[in-house]
Each structure stands twice: as structure tokens, then as C-alpha cells.
């Protein structure tokens, strides 16, 4: 039996066992959906997404294997983010896969781990944590796992030669391959910058919506007693109308300003990403530019001036671009707030218990600070590495193009 099928069977058995235990205990159906759905979905997610599943043995060093896979997958039109130890390949808007190569006596062993895009992780973890949507999170986790499994079986594994030896790139194709890889990377970075700007836009709009709800409640409660009307229902209706008018006016104007300031930026960024995507497809199909369109190399040189800005834009979102870390941090802060609040309450009744709770709350707060600092350092170092990788990639393309022109 394949490891993926075994993991899927174990995950399904664990989820079913959790619901069976809750049903055997005779707990309330609502509690069964809330707690059972969350626990079952979390267990299902962990069992399927934490392991690394084998793909194939390769007679090449790990770094050469990853470079070969990254090149082939990019040329096939996939968005691939490359780091020294792994590849992250995007599969649609939700699913992604991490590919690893570990050294062995004869070369390297390729394996993969199911993953998700930033928006995919945000949706998945939110569904799992909320309780009522735990079963939806379980279904989404299953969908992502099956999608990744299908991709690795149909695309990733066939990319690696069955005999384990990596074919060498002919010297005549090296320049064109380097150009295509650089264009693919530029398109990926441009698309991620567009997604980051779009996420920022909707984050701001969500904040406006939540603030509008809070303002409406405050105004509705605060205006009611001040209205000179003896009838209670009339006062409440008047208060609701006034609160709605003020809230809609303020929130609507704020949302309009946000739309006017940010939306044009991510629309322009989307056009750039789509333009690069079309140019890459044209170059991969060996078609000549039409009309007055620039050549692929000219387009790449033009985009190279903007790629550093795109990389910084895509990384600027921080926690919002890494939902898993953001949710962990928020949960720690919520627990910290709960412990500190309980400590302040118990200090009046039981000083020792209050001090213990306060100590736990302070420890959790320090832990949240340490977690954020560590995450921030890693995030910044990855941004610097991404900028360095792009500069090296562009330098290679320029050097090969210059050599190609000299040889003509």
C-alpha cells in the first residue's frame, strides 16, 4: 500500500473514532459538532500534512536534483519558489506542495509534503478553529491532500527519470533555459506582489467593516437615552436610523478612499503579472513577438528594475502573508489576555492563585514576543535571500546572452 493511502486511511479512522467516542459518551449533538469537528479536523490535518512522502531515488546531489526539478517545473508553467533545502510549487489558488531532496549513499531521495498557499492556509485553519466549520475544514484538508497527491503522481514523479539519472542540458539550450527560468521567476514574483496588494486591500476593507459594526452598536446604545421621545420603541428606531446614517457615511467614505488609493495599484500589478505570463508562454512556444512588442530579453531587463520592489511588496504583508504564524500568535495573545484577566480577578480572593495565573500570563506574553521576533528574523532573512537569488539569476542570464552575442 502506498504511504499516501495508508496515511489517508489512518486519518479517516482517527476522525471516525473521535466522533464515535463523543457519540458513545452521549454528549450533546451541538457539542459533538463543535468539539468533535474541530478535534477531528485538526487530527485529520496533522496526520495527512505533517509526513513527507517518498517520490524517487536520484543519482545526483540534492542541490542538483532540486535545481533540475525547479527548472523543469518552471518550464512547464508552474510557480516554483526555490530555497537551498526545498521547493514550494503552487497548484492552483489553494493547494501547494513542498519538495525535498535528502542526501543518500548513491545520491539523493526526493520526497514531498502537502502544503497550501497563504490564502489556502488562512481558510483552512480558520475553518478548523471556529468549531462550527470544523467538518468543512476536514473536507478542505482532504481536497488539498488529494490535489497534491494527484499532482505528484502525474507531474512531479514523471519529471524525474525512471533510471535515477538526471539528463544534462545541451549547451545550445542553456541560454534559452536560463532566460525562461528568469522570466518564470519574474512572473511568479509579480503575481505574488499582486496577491499581496489585493490581500492588503481586502484586509483594510474588512477592518472598516468591523469598525463600522462596532461604531453602529456604540451609537445605537449611546443615542437612545438622549433622544427626547417618551415612547421607547420610537427612540430605538430613531437611534437606529441615526446610527445607520452616521456609520454608512463615515464607513462608506473610508472604504471609498481605500479603494481609490490601493485598488488601482493591485490592478496595475495584475496587468504586469499577466503581461509577463503571456510573454513567458510565447517564449516557451518559440513564437516571435508580434507587432511592436519587446523581445523576451528586453522585457526581462525592463522587469528586472521592478522585481526587487515586487519582492519587498510580496513580503511586506508579514503575518497576513503567513496565516499559520499569525493564527498561532493570535491564539497565544488570547490565552495571555485570558490568564491576565483571570489573575486580576483572583487576586482579590486568592493571592497565590492570582500570582500563579499572572506568572503564566507573563510567560505566555514573553513567549509571544519571542515567537514574533524569531519569525520576523526568519522572514527578513528569506526576503534578503530572495533578492540575492534574483540578482544572481539575472546576472547569469545577462552573461549568457552577452556570450551568445559574442559568438554570433
- Of 314, 342, 363, which residue is a domain's last? 314
- Domain membership of residue 239 (yes or no) is yes
Q: CA–CA separation, 202 vs 195, rounded Å?
A: 11
Reported as type and span, the H/E element at residue 49 is: helix 37-49
Please, are residues 97 and 152 in contact by the beta-carbon 8 Å criterion? yes
pLDDT for residue 102: 93
- Identify whether residues 151 and 278 lie together within a single domain: no
Where in the sequence is the domain holding 102, given as residue range(s)? Answer: 3-164
Placement of cell 514573553 in the chain: 366
- Domain membership of residue 138 (yes or no) is yes
- Of 164, 199, 229, which residue is a domain's last? 164
- Identify whether residues 15 and 75 lie together within a single domain: yes
- Identify whether residues 270 and 384 lie together within a single domain: no
- Identify whether residues 151 and 189 lie together within a single domain: no
pLDDT for residue 321: 60
DSSP annotation of 224: G
- Domain membership of residue 169 (yes or no) is no
pLDDT for residue 112: 95
DSSP annotation of 289: P
pLDDT for residue 318: 54
- Identify whether residues 297 and 159 lie together within a single domain: no
- Domain membership of residue 141 (yes or no) is yes
For the stretch 84-127, pLDDT in tens is 788 999 988 889 999 999 999 888 999 999 998 877 887 887 78
- Domain membership of residue 175 (yes or no) is no
- Identify whether residues 270 and 364 lie together within a single domain: no
- Identify whether residues 305 and 381 lie together within a single domain: no
Q: CA–CA separation, 41 vs 11, rounded Å?
A: 9
- Identify whether residues 379 and 250 lie together within a single domain: no
- Domain membership of residue 353 (yes or no) is yes
Q: Tell me which residues of the chain have a pLDDT lower than 50.
A: none
Please, are residues 151 and 91 in contact by the beta-carbon 8 Å criterion? yes
- Domain membership of residue 382 (yes or no) is yes
pLDDT for residue 320: 56
pLDDT for residue 365: 83
Please, are residues 8 and 145 in contact by the beta-carbon 8 Å criterion? yes
For residue 14, give every residue at least 6 positions away whose Cβ sits within 8 Å of its Cβ, in sequence order, or none.
40, 43, 44, 47
pLDDT for residue 52: 93
Q: State how many domains the chain has.
A: 3
- Of 263, 282, 314, which residue is a domain's last? 314
- Identify whether residues 261 and 356 lie together within a single domain: no
Q: Residue 273 CB: number of other CB atoms within 10 A?
A: 21
- Identify whether residues 186 and 294 lie together within a single domain: yes
Q: CA–CA separation, 64 vs 81, rounded Å?
A: 16
- Domain membership of residue 176 (yes or no) is no
- Identify whether residues 195 and 285 lie together within a single domain: yes
Nearest-CA neighbor of 326 among 138, 133, 119, 144? 119
- Identify whether residues 128 and 223 lie together within a single domain: no
Q: CA–CA separation, 203 vs 209, rounded Å?
A: 10
Amino acid at each position: 500500500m502506498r504511504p499516501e493511502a495508508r496515511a489517508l486511511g489512518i486519518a479517516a479512522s482517527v476522525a471516525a473514532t473521535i466522533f464515535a467516542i463523543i457519540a458513545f459518551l452521549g454528549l450533546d449533538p451541538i457539542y459533538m459538532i463543535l468539539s468533535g469537528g474541530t478535534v477531528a479536523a485538526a487530527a485529520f490535518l496533522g496526520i495527512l500534512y505533517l509526513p513527507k512522502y517518498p517520490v524517487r531515488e536520484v543519482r545526483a546531489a540534492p542541490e542538483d536534483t532540486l535545481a533540475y526539478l525547479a527548472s523543469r517545473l518552471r518550464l512547464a508553467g508552474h510557480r516554483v519558489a526555490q530555497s537551498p533545502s526545498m521547493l514550494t510549487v503552487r497548484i492552483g489558488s489553494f493547494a501547494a506542495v513542498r519538495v525535498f531532496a535528502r542526501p543518500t549513499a548513491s545520491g539523493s531521495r526526493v520526497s514531498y509534503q502537502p502544503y497550501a498557499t497563504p490564502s489556502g492556509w488562512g481558510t483552512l485553519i480558520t475553518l478548523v478553529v471556529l468549531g462550527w466549520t470544523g467538518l468543512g475544514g476536514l473536507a478542505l484538508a482532504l481536497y488539498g491532500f488529494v490535489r497534491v497527491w494527484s499532482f505528484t503522481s502525474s507531474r512531479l514523479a514523471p519529471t524525474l527519470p525512471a533510471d535515477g539519472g538526471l539528463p544534462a542540458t545541451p549547451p545550445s539550450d542553456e541560454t534559452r533555459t536560463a532566460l525562461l527560468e528568469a522570466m518564470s521567476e519574474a512572473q511568479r514574483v509579480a503575481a505574488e506582489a499582486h496577491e499581496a496588494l489585493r490581500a492588503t486591500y481586502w484586509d483594510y476593507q474588512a477592518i472598516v467593516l468591523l469598525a463600522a459594526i462596532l461604531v453602529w452598536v456604540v451609537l445605537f446604545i449611546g443615542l437612545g437615552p438622549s433622544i427626547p421621545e417618551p415612547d421607547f420603541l420610537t427612540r430605538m428606531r430613531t437611534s437606529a436610523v441615526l446610527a445607520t446614517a452616521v456609520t454608512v457615511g463615515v464607513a462608506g467614505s473610508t472604504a471609498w478612499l481605500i479603494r481609490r488609493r490601493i485598488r488601482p495599484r493591485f490592478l496595475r500589478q495584475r496587468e504586469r503579472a499577466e503581461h509577463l505570463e503571456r510573454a513567458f508562454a510565447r517564449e516557451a512556444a518559440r513564437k516571435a513577438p508580434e507587432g511592436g512588442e519587446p523581445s523576451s530579453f528586453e522585457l526581462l531587463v525592463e522587469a528586472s528594475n521592478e522585481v526587487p520592489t515586487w519582492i519587498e511588496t510580496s513580503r511586506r504583508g508579514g503575518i497576513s502573508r503567513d496565516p499559520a504564524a499569525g493564527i498561532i500568535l493570535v491564539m497565544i495573545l488570547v490565552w495571555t489576555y485570558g490568564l491576565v484577566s483571570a489573575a486580576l480577578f483572583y487576586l482579590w480572593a486568592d493571592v497565590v492563585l492570582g500570582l500563579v495565573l499572572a506568572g503564566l500570563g507573563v510567560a505566555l506574553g514573553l513567549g509571544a514576543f519571542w515567537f514574533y521576533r524569531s519569525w520576523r528574523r526568519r522572514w527578513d532573512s528569506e526576503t534578503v535571500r530572495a533578492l540575492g537569488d534574483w540578482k544572481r539569476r539575472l546576472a547569469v542570464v545577462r552573461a549568457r546572452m552577452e556570450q551568445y552575442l559574442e559568438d554570433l
